[in-house]
A = this chain, B = another copy of it.
Amino acid sequence: MTEGQIGESVALRLMERALDAQGLRHTLPRRTILEVVAGMGHSFTPTELTEQVARRDPHIGRASVFRLLQLLRGAGLVERLHSPDGELYTLCLATEHHHHVTCTVCGRTATFSLEDDDAVGRAVERVGYRMDHHVLQVFGVCPACLQRERPPGRPEAPQ
Query: What is the interface of chain A, defined by CB distance below 8 A to chain B?
Result: 82, 99, 101, 103-104, 110-116, 119-120, 123-124, 126-143, 146
In the complex, chain B residues whose CB is within 8 Å of the CB of A123: 99, 112-115
Q: By the criterion CB–CB under 8 Å, are B142 and A128 in contact?
A: yes
Known: A113-B123, A133-B139. 17 other contacts (CB 8 A): A101-B131, A110-B127, A111-B127, A112-B126, A116-B119, A120-B136, A124-B140, A129-B141, A130-B146, A131-B138, A132-B140, A132-B141, A133-B138, A134-B136, A134-B139, A135-B136, A137-B137
Count of this chain's copies in the oligomeric assembly: 2
In the complex, chain B residues whose CB is within 8 Å of the CB of A134: 136-139
